[in-house]
């Protein structure tokens, strides 16, 4: 068992790689009554083409199948596991995003029973033709709900502007047509390919003895090993650096236009410490340029062009990344023009060195305060782990970033040739 002790945040991380490849992590939180357990699969909506294990043949599966599989993993021959979680007084949940599927619980008691249930949740697939047909109706309604959501549409229309081939542009739940092609056989094929110990991470955060939990997790996974030690081999299309298109517009039943401006990241191809530094640099840059204390926000707000919905975000993985500036505006094209003028005229000087230091301190303060939440620790640890990043390295990385790093990031990322705009207008 390995122990990582981070004295700057006064936290310890216990880790062991189980014999079949499962990564087991425990973060003890003495005196905390809430336990947070999560098992994450390195498998998301992007992974729709892969090599069949033990073969040189590739398989392309319908869009949305990772999300569909997540829904079906709660069904067992004896019934639905949500009832078992409820009987223990715990709160289960699950999610699928572009790169990860995760199953989790929070509880205040019966920790070992919940851990055992979580392992069953992830390792005992049970699919029938009848239950799959029922699920298609449920997910079909979910897809319709997203299609009728203007915030969702403006976001995915922007991704379609930025990306030509990369599957990140496709909706996580798929489409009516794609889910209609999902079968029991395809679900088992995806399960057997990706739900294997070497492609999983287990984490528990709470007031526990790490050695005991690691041993218990090891006992549980041994029931499901079945020799699946090799990692899945995924196939992704080559994504050009250029945009798919610069602009997208749509009309929906809304009272005020929505916009999302995106900057496609072309500085990609790495994980771990380099990716963490890039994420934090971009977070500082976006806060400096578009945060509520920035000159851009002040001018736009004073002119009545934006409201408090205005904000920015950065999303990154090894093979793609993008920054988004979004909000409501009666004149979204004017907002875009003002931002463009600021960038051309002031460049990185939009962010002063004094505000740079203030933002760094703010990030560190928020990070330290967040360690009072086991849910924050658990969800962010997993999110970073899937990118080869250790959450415990966050604060040290923030502290070593200098102003010239932000300047270089600005010059490489906030450029007109990778900027796209998506707008939803009222009907």
**Residue 95 half-sphere exposure toward CB, CA atoms < 13 A:** 10
Q: How far apart are CA 242 and CA 264, in angstroms?
A: 8
> What does the alpha-carbon distance between residue 131 and residue 184 come to, in Å, rounded to a whole number?
10
CA distances in angstroms from 124 to 16, 121, 196, listed in the order given:
23, 6, 12
Q: How far is CA 103 from CA 64, 219, 287, 322, 339, in A?
A: 17, 19, 32, 26, 40
Instruction: Report the alpha-carbon distance of residue 105 to residue 87 in Å, rounded.
Output: 13
- For tokens 């990385």, the residue is 397
CA pair distance 368, 241, nearest whole angstrom: 37
DSSP symbols for 195-223: -SGGGEEEEEEESS-HHHHHHHHHHHHTT
Q: Residue 397 CA to chain centroid, in angstroms?
A: 20
Active site residue: 7, 16, 70, 209, which one? Answer: 70
The answer to whether 94 and 103 are in contact (CB under 8 A) is yes
Q: Which helix (H) or strand (E) holds 107?
A: strand 101-107
Gap between the Cα atoms of 53 and 340, Å rounded: 49
Nearest to 385 by CA among 114, 102, 107: 102
Pairing between β-strand 49-51 and β-strand 35-41 as defined by DSSP bridges: unpaired
The question of whether 287 is a catalytic residue gets the answer no
* Mutual angle of helices 295-302 and 272-290, in 10-degree steps: 40
Distance of CA 176 to CAs 4, 63, 143, Å? 46, 10, 7
CA 184 to CA 121: how far, in whole Å?
A: 18
Q: Catalytic positions, please?
A: 70
């Amino acid at each position: 068992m390995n122990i990582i002790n981070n004295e700057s945040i006064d936290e310890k991380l216990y880790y062991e790689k189980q014999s079949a490849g499962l990564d087991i992590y425990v973060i003890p939180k003495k005196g905390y009554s809430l336990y947070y357990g999560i098992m994450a699969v390195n498998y998301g909506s992007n992974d729709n083409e892969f090599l069949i294990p033990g073969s040189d043949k590739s398989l392309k599966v319908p869009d949305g199948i990772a999300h569909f599989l997540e829904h079906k993993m709660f069904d067992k021959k004896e019934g639905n596991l949500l009832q078992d979680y409820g009987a223990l007084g715990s709160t289960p949940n699950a999610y699928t995003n572009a790169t990860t599927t995760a199953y989790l619980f929070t509880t205040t008691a019966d920790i070992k029973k919940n851990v055992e249930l979580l392992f069953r949740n992830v390792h005992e697939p049970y699919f029938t033709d009848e239950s799959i047909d029922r699920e298609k109706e449920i997910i079909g309604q979910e897809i319709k709900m997203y299609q009728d959501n203007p915030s969702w549409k403006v976001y995915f229309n922007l991704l379609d502007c930025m990306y030509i081939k990369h599957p990140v542009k496709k909706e996580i739940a798929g489409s009516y047509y794609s889910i209609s092609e999902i079968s029991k056989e395809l679900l088992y094929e995806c399960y057997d390919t990706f739900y294997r110990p070497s492609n999983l991470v287990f984490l528990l955060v709470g007031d526990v003895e790490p050695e005991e939990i690691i041993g218990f997790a090891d006992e549980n996974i041994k029931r499901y090993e079945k020799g699946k030690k090799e990692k899945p081999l995924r196939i992704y299309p080559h994504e050009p650096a250029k945009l798919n298109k610069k602009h997208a517009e749509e009309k929906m039943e809304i009272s005020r236009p929505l916009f999302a401006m995106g900057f496609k990241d072309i500085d990609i191809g790495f994980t771990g410490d380099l990716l963490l530094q890039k994420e934090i640099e971009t977070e500082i840059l976006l806060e400096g340029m578009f945060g509520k204390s920035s000159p851009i926000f002040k001018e736009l707000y004073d002119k009545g062009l934006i409201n408090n919905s205005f904000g920015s975000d950065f999303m990154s993985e090894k093979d793609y990344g993008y920054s988004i500036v979004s909000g409501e505006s009666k004149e979204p094209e004017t907002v875009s023009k003002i931002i463009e003028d600021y960038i051309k005229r002031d460049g990185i000087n939009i962010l002063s060195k004094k505000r740079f230091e203030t933002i760094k301190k703010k990030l560190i303060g928020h990070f330290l305060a967040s360690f009072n939440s086991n849910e924050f620790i658990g969800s962010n640890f997993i999110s970073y782990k899937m990118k080869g990043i250790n959450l415990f390295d966050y604060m040290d990385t923030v502290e070593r970033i200098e102003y010239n790093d932000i300047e270089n990031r600005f010059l490489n990322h906030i450029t007109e040739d990778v900027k796209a705009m998506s707008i939803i207008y009222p009907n």
